[in-house]
Amino acid sequence: MAKAKLPPDKAEANSLITGGLGVGAFGVASATLLGAVCPVCVVAAPAMVGLGLYKRYKTRDLPPVE
């Protein structure tokens, strides 16, 4: 049985959430190892995760693409 594909909007939301978590992990690693965090990491990580969660919320009722 094949898995149904996600609609493009949900896939984009998942990419934003994953990217935001990756940027956040990079910020945490740089703070731990170097003692400094880039300002972009501080702003971009929550913005990407928040936008991804918002898009995921808006597309929660879309059916899977076959």
* pLDDT tens per residue, range 38-64: 888 889 999 999 999 999 998 887 676
> Is the whole-model pTM more than 0.85?
no
d(CA 42, CA 1): 42
Please name which of 4, 8, 3 lies closest in space to residue 59, comparing C-alpha atoms.
8
The residue with greater pLDDT, 63 or 36, is 36
Residue 63 lies in a domain: no
Is residue 20, in this structure, part of any structural domain at all?
yes
Residue 47 included in any domain: yes
pLDDT band at 2 (very low <50, low <70, confident <90, very high): low
Give the pLDDT band of residue 66 (cuts 50, 70, 90). Answer: low
Domain containing 33 equals 8-58
Residue 10, C-beta contacts closer than 8 angstroms, at least 6 positions apart = 55, 56, 59, 62
